Amino acid sequence: MSKTYKAVNWNTPENDYVLMFWEQNIRQFWIDTEYIPSKDIDSWKRISPEMKDAYKKALGGLTLLDTLQSHTGMPKIIDHIDTLQNKAVLSYMCMMEAIHAKSYSTIFTTVSTTAEINDIFEWVQQNKYLQYKAETIDGYYRAIDKEDASEEEIYMAMAASVLLESFLFYSGFFLPLWLCGQGEMVASADIIKKIIADESIHGVFVGLIAQDQFKKLKNQDQVKARFLALLYNLYENELKYTEEIYTEVGLTAEVKEYVRYNANKALMNLGFDPIFEVKQVNPIVLNGLNTETTQHDFFSKKSTNYEKATEIVHLKDDDFKMDVVVDI
């Protein structure tokens, strides 16, 4: 036998943080059907056509990024993680990314016709700024799609993942939080807040693993410079994406400030100092974040709009008796 297969042993923690992240992920578990975005139908009727268009595009962009993370990002990174407990946490996070992508469709179904939804997904495929950030991040994931990936390639893939989780999502999150602060689309915002709570700890966890990976590198200065070049590149693209989404609703300047704020959060998750000047982030949006979680505070709560089935029907032996005769 050339390889010894090991079982994950949770009785002996592999590091001083993995069990905390596992338990917090479990406490935060949710699915989209526990929420009722249909409560927002009247609110949707009240907001302007321009706001509706921006909202749908923001959710479409978020769907693409969560799809990329669940189908490519997390699986590729997991392949290069040595510790089994870290793999387990990342596997759980990968599953939640798929739930996030599904959740946006739950909101879409409430507020849009099938034709409108199809138009949004066509827009996702055609928008050059959205496609650029997906292609850029995906390039770092694809670079480690091999057994002999270098330590630098693995680090850059992890760093790209942190940028996605802690930075690139947030231009899309801004509008649902902003509208919620105005008393609009509140039920749908509860789903968005759950997603943000998840993405927050995803960014912190992968950031910690990336920091451990960074310590293995002998050329740290060069790799840091390479990472910062990636960050600035994505930042410039994000500004253009923000302008395309938010100009018609007059929120471009506020969203750009929020983009810089979260770029600094991504840097801190990777152990680097903030580099972007942030004057003032819209307090309504920050309040929307803080009701669920912050980047370094892993407490979360269920919303008042949360509804979950509580009736338990116990199965009996008779339930398995079938009055069906099968001819063989």
pLDDT for position 160? 98
3 pLDDT tier (thresholds 50, 70, 90) = confident
**Whole-number percent of the chain with pLDDT over 90:** 83
Q: Maximum distance among all alpha carbons in the chain?
A: 75
Alpha helices in the chain (DSSP H): 18-27, 41-46, 49-68, 74-78, 84-111, 114-126, 128-142, 151-163, 170-181, 186-214, 220-246, 252-269, 283-290
Q: Please report the pLDDT score of residue 316 as a whole number.
A: 54
Kindly tell me if the per-residue pLDDT of 296 is higher than 50. Answer: no
Answer for the pair 209, 97: CB distance below 8 angstroms, yes or no: no
Calpha distance 5→71 (Å, rounded): 25
Tens of pLDDT, residue by residue over 25-40, are 999 999 999 999 999 9
> Does the annotation place 97 within a ligand binding site?
yes
Amino acid 284: pLDDT: 87
**202 has binding-site annotation:** yes
Contact (Cβ atoms closer than 8 angstroms) between residue 213 and residue 154 = yes
For residue 110, name the pLDDT band (cuts at 50, 70, 90): confident
Query: Is it the case that residue 294 has pLDDT exceeding 70?
Result: no
Does residue 295 surpass a pLDDT of 50? no
Please choose, from the candidates 168, 149, 166, 167, the residue with its C-alpha nearest in 3D space to the C-alpha of residue 157.
Answer: 149
DSSP 8-state assignment for residue 37: G
Which phi and psi (to 5°) does residue 73 adopt? -60, -65
User: Could you confirm whether domain 18-320 is CATH 1.10.620.20?
Assistant: yes
Given the residues 5, 55, 92, 104, select the one marked as catalytic: 104
Could you tell me the residue ranges of all domains in the chain? 18-320
Q: Cβ of 19: how many Cβ atoms within 10 Å? A: 14
Tell whether residue 165 is among the known ligand binding residues.
Answer: yes
pLDDT digits (tens, 9 = 90+) for 72-109: 999 999 999 999 999 999 999 999 999 999 999 999 99
pLDDT band at residue 2 using 50, 70 and 90 as cut-offs? confident
CA–CA distance, 283 with 281 (Å, rounded to integer): 6
Q: Is 129 an annotated catalytic residue?
A: no
Give the per-residue pLDDT at 20: 94
Q: How far is Cα 10 from Cα 165, in angstroms, rounded to an integer?
A: 26
Is 66 annotated in a binding site? The answer is: yes
pLDDT at 306: 43
| DSSP string computed for 179-201 | HHHTTSSHHHHHHHHHHHHHHHH
Average pLDDT for the chain = 89
Q: Mind listing the pLDDT tens digit for each residue in 135-178?
A: 999 999 999 999 999 999 999 999 999 999 999 999 999 999 99
Q: What is the separation, in whole angstroms, between the first and last Cα of the chain?
A: 44
> Which of 65-74, 239-248, 286-295 is predicted least confidently?
286-295
Length of the chain: 328
